[in-house]
Amino acid sequence: MAITVKFFASLRERMECEGVAIDAQYARTIAEVWQQVAGGEPLPADLLMAVNMEYAEPDSVVQDGDEVAFFPPVTGGGHDH
């Protein structure tokens, strides 16, 4: 009974890992998954998240076997021509 959690881009450095697995019984929503992995850090308002590779919201329900991904917003890297 586990939920796989993955971190991308700058979050990977901040969390100091690519991902973790948490016990599914301790998290029913993405927000609760974040609480389990972030060590008390609040969920950033601009954080993007996905369940099984589909964008989701903090109150989206997660289940045993799901993969939850957290990643920072993509910033526009405006290129000057």
Dump pLDDT digits (tens) for 28-63.
999 999 999 998 889 998 999 999 999 999 999 999
Structure confidence at residue 42 (pLDDT): 93
Domains and CATH numbers, the chain: 2-71 (3.10.20.30)
Instruction: Supply the pTM of this predicted model.
Output: 0.87
pLDDT band for position 77 (cuts 50, 70, 90): low
SS (H, E, C) the chain: CEEEEEECCHHHHHHCCCEEEEEHHHCCEHHHHHHHHCCCCCCCCCCEEEECCEECCCCCECCCCCEEEEECCCCCCCCCC
